[in-house]
Chains A and B, each alone.
Chain A
Amino acid sequence: AQSVTQLDSQVPVFEEAPVELRCNYSSSVSVYLFWYVQYPNQGLQLLLKYLSGSTLVKGINGFEAEFNKSQISFHLRKPSVHISDTAEYFCAVSGRNTGNQFYFGTGTSLTVIP
């Protein structure tokens, strides 16, 4: 089974500063990678996904992530954060060998400080 590690449980950052949320997973074989965002008291919504092709993936709200096969990482970045980016972020992995199951990381709480 896959495992997903989100290296930072909490990330505080000042408004308009850049941010990187880190994600590593256990195997690079035929994986599909996702980042989800969860605002308070809501469900999860998709930020971006990597299925194949270009390793740099752009998502909604100005976020992007880069698939690095050699480092088995899929870090999420944003060059300038806004107060409204305060939320919980989850990395997830799926793949041909996992059926349609997803494996989630434990989440990173991003707090944007005015």
Chain B
Amino acid sequence: DAGITQSPRHKVTETGTPVTLRCHQTENHRYMYWYRQDPGHGLRLIHYSYGVKDTDKGEVSDGYSVSRSKTEDFLLTLESATSSQTSVYFCAISDRREGSYNEQFFGPGTRLTVL
């Protein structure tokens, strides 16, 4: 298994509180991603990073921010959590090799409940 950990694995919080989820990798992959998974929607990209301090928005970025200060860590922050952000969050990593595209490797997920 690729060395990807997510913390916390489960979190319950209240509306309006800030929340930070952490993704940590030991594979030295360049690309890192945050997805949310909801029934009927599959996986939707929130933000991604293509290098240290280089990030970009995905399909559902409103209400989320990210930071990547070093290769191995990618943080997802909900500045003021809302009930619509109750979801399972997955981190993924990948690395582009010359002439091919490698698959994304996924972390175990974080189940977030916003009351």
Question: Which A residues are closer than 8 A to B by beta carbons?
Answer: 6, 9, 32, 34, 36, 41-46, 49, 51, 90, 92, 94-95, 99-102, 104-107
Cβ-defined contact, B31 with A44, below 8 A: no
Residues of A within 8 A of B114 (CB): none
- Chain B: how many interface residues by the 8 Å CB criterion? 25
Q: A46–B1 Cα gap in the complex (Å)?
A: 11
Q: How far is the CB of B21 from chain A (nearest CB, A)?
A: 14
Residues of A within 8 A of B33 (CB): 102
Interface centre among B42, B45, B50, B94 (most CB of A within 10 A): B42
Number of A-B contacts (CB under 8 A): 51
A104-B106 contact in complex given A44-B90, A51-B100, C-beta closer than 8 Å:
no
B11 sits at the interface (CB 8 A): no
Q: How far is the CB of B94 from chain A (nearest CB, A)?
A: 6
- Chain B residue at minimal CB-CB distance from A108: B42
Question: Which B residues are closer than 8 A to A by beta carbons?
Answer: 31, 33, 35, 40-45, 48, 50, 58, 90, 92, 94, 96, 100-101, 103-109
Q: B43's contact among A42, A90, A95, by CB below 8 Å, is which? A: A90
Q: How far is the CB of A103 from chain B (nearest CB, A)?
A: 8
A45-B106 contact in complex given A32-B101, A106-B41, A107-B42, C-beta closer than 8 Å:
yes
Q: How far is the CB of B99 from chain A (nearest CB, A)?
A: 9
Cβ-defined contact, A51 with B90, below 8 A: no
